[in-house]
Structure 1
Amino acid sequence: MNEELKEYLSGIQLPDKTAMDTARLRWAHVAKPLNSLGVLEEDIIKIAGIRGSSLVSLQKRGLLILCADNGIVEEGVTQTGMEVTAVVAENMTRGNSSVCIMANRAGVDVFPVDMGVARDLVSGTRYPLINRKIAYGTKNFRKSKAMTRDEAVQAIIAGIELMGELSEKGYDLAATGEMGIGNTTTSSAVAALLLKQDPARLTGRGAGLNDAGLKQKMKVIQEAVAEYGPNCQDEIDILSAVGGFDLAGMTGVFLGGAIYRIPVLLDGFISAVAALLAERIYPGCRDFMIASHVSAEPAGHILLEELGLPPLIQAGMCLGEGTGAIAAVPLLDMAADVYGTMSSFEEIEIEAYKPVGDQS
C-alpha cells in the first residue's frame, strides 16, 4: 500500500465505548418504550461513539458530491452520453439539481467535487465547484484498465483530504453523493470482484436501460471480471481495473470519516460499493458509517448486509446524487432531538419500561 495512505490510516482509532455506553443508557431513560425508534437509536449511539461524546450534535452537515466520467460509456452501457455528467455537475454548482433542492430543505451544505469529469467545468456561485480532477475521465476498461494504481491512490487520498477540510470547518456529519454517467457499470464490476459473485446478480438498469442495454452492460462486466479478477491482489487493484474516480474519491471519504471521526452517510448502491472498498482496505471502517436507505438496484440489499449496516429508509429510491443520504438527515435530526431533549421516566415520575423477558 502507498506510504502516504498508510500514514493516514494509522491515525484511525476505535469509536469511544464510554460515549456509546452513556448514550445507550440515556436512551433507556427516555420516557418512551425501549428501543422503539429502532435503527435511529442505534445510529445516535454510533454517532456518540464516533464523535467521542454522548452529547450528540448534528448542527453542521455537508454533502460531498463526487463527479467523474467513465470511459466504459463507449460500450453502450448507458442510456445517455458522457456529456450529461458535466451538465448535471454544473447545475449542482447553481443549486439546480434534485439533491441540491433536497439539501436546501434539510439544511445540508453542498460541495460538488470534480474528481474526473471529461471536460473542464464552469462553476456557479451557489455551491462553488471544488476541483480535485485526477484526469479527464477513466479509460474504457474493456480495452485497458480504467486507471493506474497511482491514480486510484491519488483519488482515495483526495477523498480523505476532503473530509479533513470538513473536519477543520467543524462539520458534525457528512453525506456522500456522486454524479457520473456509467458509474453503475463501474460499481457493479467492482462489487462483483469484491463479493466474488455473478455480475448478473448484482447488475441493474441504472438510469433506465432497456433490455438490450442491460444485456450489453452485463456482458461487458462479466468479461471484465473474467479478465481482471485473477490478477487483482487487493482492493486498489480492483478499483484501478474497473472503477471510477468518483468511486475512488468516495472510498477516501469513508476512510476519512474514520480518520477524522465524522459519521458518514451512505447514499445508495454506488456509495455502498465505495463503503465496502473502504471497509476492505481498513476493516472496522464501517463503524463510522450510517446507511441511509436501500437502493432499488439489485445489489442494494446485498451490499448493506455485507457491511452489516441497517438502513433507515426503504423507499425504492435509485436517483443517486446523494438524495437518499439527504432524505435520512431529517430522521436523524428528529432522533437527536428526542434523545437530547425528551423527559426521562424519573422526571415525569412514572415507572420505566423493562426489557422484554425481565421478570424482576
Structure 2
Amino acid sequence: MTTNWCLQACRPLDQLVREQALERQQQLTKPTGSLGQLERLAVLLAAQQAKLKPRIDKPWVAIFAGDHGVVEEGVSAYPQAVTGQMLQNFVAGGAAISVLARQLNAGLDVVDLGTVQSLALTGVLHLHLGPGTANFARQPAMSVEQCQAALQAGRDSVTRALAAGSDLFIGGEMGIGNTTAAAALASALLGHAPSVVVGPGTGLDEAGVRRKAEVIERALTLHAAALTDPFEALRHVGGFELAALSGAYLACAQQGLPVLVDGFICTAAALCAVRMNPACRDWLLFAHSGAEPGHRLVLQSLAAEPLLDLGLRLGEGSGAALAVPLLQLACALHGEMATFAEAAVSDRPA
C-alpha cells in the first residue's frame, strides 16, 4: 500500500508568473523562439520558482545506493562488491559525480539504503533497509515496509536539500543490477516486452542482454497480478534506490523544488512517481537521452524533452549534473538580455 504522503497534492505552478515570463521572452532582443528549448526552460523554471527571473545557484545531488538480489541470476557484468566500493569513491571525491558536484558547488548527499556488504563509511548515511533487495525473479524485491522506508528516504533527502537552501534537486543512483530493476519496472508500467526495453547496462554482451530479458520476463509473469498498481510494481520488481528516487521526486513536487532527472534508472523512477501522483510531472526536467534502449521509451511516455544526447550510460546523476549549466544559462539569458525597448532596437512590426 502506497504511503499516504505520496498521494498528497503537489504544489501548483505559478501560472501568473508563467504568463509574465512568456511575455518577457517575447520582448527580448532576438527573434521569437530563436533560443528554442532554452526559452521554454526559463519560462518553466520561472513558474516553478514563482520568480519572473529564476536562478539556479545551489544544486543538490543525492546519490541513493542499494544492492539487488536479482544479480544472482547473472544479469550484471560486475560483482556486487562494486556498490560498496563506489560508495567509498563517492565520498573520497574520485567518482564522476563527485567531480561534477565540486565543479557545480553542489551539495552531495550519499545514502546507502542497503548493500550486501555491511559498511560504515564516513560521509555516507547508512539506513540498512536490508542486505540488498530480494531476487525478484523468485519473490517480491521488497516488503511493504522496506519500500515505504525507501520512499521516505528520498523524501528525507529533499528535506535536507531545502534546509540547505538548494534550488534544484538531482537524484543519482548506484547499485549493481539496477538497470535490470529499472527495465523490469519500465516494462511493467509501460506494458512493453522486456526484449525492447533491456540493454547492456554496464557492459553485457548479446547473450547477457538476452538473459536479462528472459529473467525480467519470468519476473513479470510471476508478479503479474501485482503490477497494475505503481507502488506494488515498484515493490515487486524495483529496488531500494528506485524507490528512494521516486519518493524524492514526489516530495520535490509537493515542496516546490525543481527536479533535473538523470538517466534510465532515474527516469524509470520518475515514471513510477508520475503514475503514483500525476501532478508531480510539472516539476520534472529531463537532462539527457541515454544509451539504454528503455530510456528513450520512458522519456517518450513522459512527453519529455531531454536537454542532451551524448550517449551517456554512467548513471550516478552525472548526466543531470552535466546539464545544470544549460539551466543556469537559460536563466541568465532570460533574466539579463535587454528588451527591444531597453536596447533601442527596432522590433518587427506588430
Task: Identify whether the pair has TM-score above 0.5, normalized to the shorter chain.
Answer: yes
- Is residue 291–residue 312 contact of structure 2 (8 Å, CA) maintained in 1? yes
**Which residue does the alignment assign to 1:319?**
314
- Which ranges of structure 2 fall in alignment gaps of 5 or more residues? none
Normalized against structure 2, the TM-score is what?
Answer: 0.96
**Relative to structure 2, which stretch is displaced further, 302-311 or 99-108?**
99-108
Q: Percent identity?
A: 34
Structure 1 counterpart of 2:78? 80
* Alpha-carbon distance in structure 2 between the residues aligned to 1:15 and 1:43: 14
8 Å Cα contact 2:68/2:239 also seen in 1: yes
Once the 2 structures are TM-superposed, how far is the Cα of residue 49 of structure 1 from its aligned partner?
A: 1.6
Written as runs of structure 1 = structure 2, the 5 A alignment for 1:5-16 is 5-7=3-5, 9-16=7-14
Q: Distance in 2 between matches of 1:223 and 1:240?
A: 16
**Structure 1 residue 28 displacement after superposition:** 1.6
Q: CA deviation at 1:123?
A: 2.6
Correspondent of 2:206 among 207, 211, 229: 211
Give me the whole-angstrom Cα distance separating, in 2, the residues matched to 1:152 and 1:353.
57
SS at match of 1:299: helix
Distance 1:244 1:305 in 2: 23
Q: Which residue of 1 aligns with 2:138?
A: 143
Q: Output the CA distance in 1 between the equivalents of 2:135 and 2:308.
A: 35
The match for 1:115 is 113
Report the AA paired with residue 149 of structure 2: Q
Q: Which moved more, 1:262-271 or 1:11-20?
A: 11-20
Q: Which runs of no fewer than 5 residues in structure 1 stay unpaired?
A: 355-359
Which amino acid is the alignment partner of residue 325 of structure 1?
A
CA-to-partner distance for each residue in 1:223-247, whole Å, 9 max, x for gaps? 1111112333411110111110000
Is the partner of 2:147 in helix, strand or coil?
helix
Q: Deviations over 1:31-69 (max 9, x none)?
A: 122222222221222222222222312111111111110
User: How many residues are matched?
Assistant: 350
Please, which moves more after superposition, 265-274 or 232-241? Answer: 232-241
2:41 corresponding residue in structure 1: 43
Q: Deviations over 1:270-314 (max 9, x none)?
A: 000000000000012111000000011001221111111201101
TM-score where L is the length of structure 1: 0.93
Cα pair 1:9 1:259 within 8 Å, conserved:
no
Q: Pick from 159, 178, 184 the counterpart of residue 189 of structure 1.
A: 184
- Distance across 1 between alignment mates of 2:133 and 2:348: 56
2:262 to 267, 285, 293: 267
Residues 86-132 of structure 1, C-alpha deviations (whole Å, 9 max, x = no match): 000111011110111122223322111112222233434xxx21233
Q: 1:122 to 1:7 in 2, by over 3 A?
A: closer
Partner of 1:304: 299
1:167 corresponds to which residue? 162
Q: Does 1:129 align with 2:124?
A: yes
Question: CA distance change for structure 1 residues 117 and 37 in 2, over 3 Å: closer, same or farther?
Answer: farther
Distance 1:170 1:8, change over 3 A: farther
- The equivalent position to 1:58 in structure 2, one of 53, 56, 59, is 56
Is 2:282 aligned against 1:282? no
Query: Aligned partners of 2:303, 2:128: CA distance in 1, in Å?
Result: 32
What is the CA–CA distance in structure 1 between the aligned matches of 2:72 and 2:161, rounded to whole Å? Answer: 35
